[in-house]
Structure 1
């Protein structure tokens, strides 16, 4: 398996390979500065989907990065 996303994409992977790469790693803490209105809206949307704010953000990031490989 490649060591980086950039390396992975060079190999022309399918979406499943990209998603597997993105979720197969250790958990790390990240501090992100965003407007409170954006955070509140995202928390509300996450709740409507039955997930946490963190899960919502991870899901959206994975969707966007997996799309880039196409």
Structure 2
């Protein structure tokens, strides 16, 4: 498997390959500064889906990166 997203994309992968690449790896901590209203809205939406805020953010990023046509 490629060691970077950019290298992966150059090989014209399908959506499954992209998703596999994005979820395979060690967990890291990230500090994100966003408006409190956006944070509250995201937490509420995550709860509606039965997931944590962190899982919701990961899901959103994976969805965006695995769309066809999105390229690094």
Q: Deviations over 1:24-69 (max 9, x none)?
A: 0000000000000000000000001100000000000000000125
For 2:40, the equivalent position in structure 1 comes to 40
How is 1:50-69 mapped onto 2 (pairs within 5 angstroms)?
50-67=50-67, 68=70
Secondary structure, aligned partner of 1:62: helix
Instruction: Give TM-score scaled by structure 2 length.
Output: 0.93
Q: Deviations over 1:3-33 (max 9, x none)?
A: 1000000000000000000000000000000
Alignment RMSD (CA, Å): 0.7
List, as ranges, runs of 4+ consecutive aligned residues in structure 1 with deviation greater than 4 Å. none
Instruction: Tell me the matched-pair count.
Output: 69
Q: Which structure shows the bigger proportion of residues in helix conformation?
A: 1
Which residues of structure 2 form unaligned runs of 5+? none
For 1:18, the equivalent position in structure 2 comes to 18
Instruction: Give TM-score scaled by structure 1 length.
Output: 0.96
Which residues of structure 1 form unaligned runs of 5+? none
